[in-house]
Amino acid sequence: MKLLTAALVVILLAMLAKSMFLSFRAQSPADYSDTGPAFSLKTQLSGEILSEGLIFGPNGKMTNSFTAKMVGTWYGDTGTLSEEFVYSNGRHQSRKWFLQLGPGNTFTATADDIVGEAKGSVSGATVKMEYQITLPEEAGGHVLNVTDWLYLTESGVIMNKSEMRKFGIKVAELVATMRPNPLQSD
């Protein structure tokens, strides 16, 4: 029995180590400090932005897809990002982020479905943001911990990957693109 218990402890520790050091959660802004093009919240999150994405459930299967129209505006170091989502299940969602640039490439953000304040940092071609989100009641009303990464490509497209966790267990994942609306007027 002791051998079985020891084996289970070793397996659990190995899984924890993999999750912490060899996974999406293990990356840090410092890993991308020398990458380019340089991500600027004021530049990349300004004007009209079109987004398309997929949401995956805890079993890794795609559960929903979406399109979104976003509009970013900035006044000095304060910005807003208005988002209008249409999901493949017919649901519509509106969100408005309120962004505040801080010292040393950091920023904070709030929105109606965010618990407290999101904390973010910009490093090279990336943005990392961590926050808690409250799901709508029809999705269970759960509060999830989110790690959100944006990666700016050479073409100006932003690739977004997010992991949502409850009690440390990944329950959802989002993969999306964000690109300037080619039809917006200058």
Domains and CATH numbers, the chain: 28-180 (2.40.128.20)
pLDDT in tens, 2-57: 766 766 766 676 656 655 555 567 788 788 888 899 999 999 999 999 999 999 99
Cα angle vertex 146, ends 59, 153, to 5°? 95
Nearest Cα to Cα of residue 118 among 104, 138, 132: 132
Other CB atoms within a 10 A radius of the CB of residue 50 amount to 16
- Give the pTM: 0.84
Is the pLDDT reported for residue 185 higher than 60? no
Other CB atoms within a 10 A radius of the CB of residue 76 amount to 8
pLDDT in tens, 126-163: 999 999 999 888 778 889 999 999 999 999 999 999 99
